[in-house]
Amino acid sequence: MTVLIIGGLAALVGSAVLIAGWGLGVGALKSVLPGLATMKANTALGITALGAGLALTASGGRLSGLGRLAAGAALVLASVTLAEYAFGWNAGIDQLIFIDRGPVPHPGRPALGTSVSMVLFGVALLVVRRPGLHVVKSVAGVAGSLIAWAAVTGYVFGAEGLQSVPFFSTVAVHTAVVTLLLGLGVLAAEPTFWPIRTALERSSGGVICRWLLPTAILAPPALGWLLGRAAMFSIYPDGFRWSLYSAVASLGSVWLIMMLASRITAMDAERAAAAELSRHDALTGLANRRAFDDFLMESFSLARRYRHALSLILLDIDRFKSYNDSYGHPAGDELLRRLGELLRSVARESDLVARIGGEEFAFVLPETDLAGAETLAERVRQEVERSAAFRRPVTVSLGIAAIGQETSGVSMLVHDCDVALYEAKGAGRNRVSVAIAA
């Protein structure tokens, strides 16, 4: 959409200068300010064609062919103009549309810099959506944009200096601005080549680029204009003003680096917080199944390697469906939240408490043997049974398993613990069942 808007705006400006400026004699459209260079009729025609080409190419579908046709027309016009400059030739196109009696050596002829930019943009638009020519499109777009940016900054520092350079001598200020916009639109059209892709993508790098690039691009010209044009600095000699520019530019670079570091730190913190949230159950705040699996795998590997104890407790709420049916799902959620708080309160810092299913919870107990796990499980069972935090008395069943010589892996440990849990449920609930040590 942005590319479409840029193309439409460029086409609108070019056609307005061509029709109203040259056709109806509105001088303000040909030259923004009196005494400045005018946008030539052929320049306006080329900008109109390039803007239309950019907009039609961005719209896709069948209109892309018309976009390439418009871009090709602008390319031919600008190429002939370059040939005129290169070979001292008069192709008879400078005064073809309107008669220009300006004081320059070649009235009606687009500036050399403008012609080069139009050739580059025309080539770039002709190769859009051609995978083998992405580099050509990007290089042409960057080169043309740099030429336009040099003209814009030349006007910032003073039109007199710009007009003394033959390459830019007849570039109008609005020509420079619109050509720069066209360059940005060309670069944004199908951004598949570095560095444009990096600046426009939704990654962290793209966010940082879009956050810092405007300052990095606009600050140096603004600073140069201030030191060169502001009355308060005009009393200083050029050497001192250059030293001021160097000092402030260095400070600006440091500021950008610090802002970049600050932004990266903030993004790292956001990413870490998001990762932490992704490992916790949203309802209870306990670890979720993913965190449980990772922690159990890591703990099992360490216990096996160093021959340390490791136990696992699986816990299931007795008759949870009946509780939900009696009091509703919001009450069931409240039960889960309060049970999560209770389980967290009895666990050690080294233990992991997780909600691994609807009403199923787990304790991973590093450095804890079967006897220690049974003691904790019995305490949990009694705490839940005595708790007055629920709408009616609630009980839980627990299964325990510990790593042994024959425990082949995590899946076997979980299976043994699960079997013990089902034994507790089958034996009447509200009890602890211990898996037979392997």
Task: Give me the count of residues in the chain.
Answer: 438
Rounded to 5 degrees, what are φ and ψ at 399? -115, 145
Average pLDDT over every residue of 248-272:
82
Q: Is the pLDDT of residue 2 over 90?
A: no
The CATH number that domain 289-434 falls under is: 3.30.70.270
User: Per the residue annotation, which of 84, 270, 341, 359 is the catalytic one?
Assistant: 359
Q: What is the pLDDT of residues 323-345, one digit of tens each?
A: 999 999 999 999 999 999 999 99
Which whole number is the average pLDDT over 373-396?
96
The answer on pLDDT for 78 being more than 60 is yes
The mean per-residue pLDDT over the stretch 251-264 comes to 82
Quick one: how far is CA 394 from the chain centroid? 49
Confidence grade of residue 305 (pLDDT, cut at 50, 70, 90): very high
- The per-residue pLDDT of the chain, averaged, comes to 88
As beta bridge partners, residue 317 has 396
The verdict on whether 334 is a catalytic residue reads: no
153 or 362, greater pLDDT: 362
Residue 34 has pLDDT above 90, yes or no: no
Residue 92: per-residue pLDDT? 87
Inform me whether the pLDDT recorded for 264 exceeds 90.
no
β-bridge pairing 360-366 and 396-402: unpaired
State residue 213's pLDDT score. 79
pLDDT for residue 364:
97
Cβ–Cβ under 8 Å, residues 170 and 176: no
- Structural domain spans, the chain: 2-200, 203-277, 289-434
Query: pTM for this structure?
Result: 0.60
Judged against a pLDDT cut of 60, whether residue 438 lies above it is answered with no
Q: Residue 421 and residue 415: Cα distance in Å, rounded? A: 10
360 within 8 A of 306, measured Cβ to Cβ: no
Query: Which pLDDT belongs to residue 233?
Result: 65
